Amino acid sequence: MLNLIMPSSYAKVIEGPRLANAFRETLAALELAQNTSVTLRLTNNRVIRRYNFAWLGIDAPTDVLSFENPYIDPETGEHYLGDIIISYEKARRQAKEGEHSIYQEVEMLFVHGLLHLAGYDHGDEDDWLDMSSMQDLILKKTANPLRNSIQAPGE
């Protein structure tokens, strides 16, 4: 299940059902249980900057942060992966620079965050190739045209 938290002003642009579909496609691609859940919070640069500083020591806004917090709810059996935070402001700027829609950018960042929660990383060449390939495969399944969006190590 996708727990989506965002200001109502973002709801005009962000389509919850499409994000839910991206979540399902990611679960299927990673062969994760259908009773898996995450929380996605869309926020602004000020808030994500605070999280980025508190957790990574970087005093600047970023586009997406993932916080692994895996557990199984003993009452429901639901598999919780963790939390993802996306800066709507940063995503909007990146979408404008890349000449694509804010929705496509947010969806790509969401899939990126999900892959991190599932253990993917892009710190070295091999990991980058694995994560980039998986992200592109999932985005293709969701009809999102963004590809090769993860910066290669050393760039």
Q: Where are the domains of the chain?
A: 2-141
Q: Is the pLDDT of residue 21 over 90?
A: yes
Residue 155 has pLDDT above 70, yes or no: no
pLDDT at 154 over 90: no
- Measured in whole angstroms, the distance separating CA 17 from the mean position of its chain's CA atoms is 15
Question: Between 125-141 and 16-30, two packed helices, what is the crossing angle to 10 degrees?
Answer: 130
Q: Is the pLDDT of residue 53 over 90?
A: yes
By percentage, how much of the chain surpasses pLDDT 90?
77
The residue type of 95 is A
**22 touches 138 (CB < 8 A):** yes
Q: Which CATH superfamily is domain 2-141 in?
A: Metalloproteases ("zincins"), catalytic domain (3.40.390.30)
Around Cβ 21, how many Cβ atoms within 10 Å?
16
> Which H/E stretch holds residue 126?
helix 125-141
Distance CA 133, CA 139 (A): 10
63, 94 Cβ separation under 8 angstroms: yes
CA distance 121 to 145: 22
| Mean pLDDT within 37-43 | 96
- In the predicted structure, residue 48 carries a pLDDT above the cut 90: yes
Q: Give me the half-sphere count of Cα atoms (radius 13 Å) on the Cβ side of residue 7.
A: 9
CA dihedral 137, 96, 39, 117 (to 10 degrees): 40
pLDDT value at 153 more than 90:
no
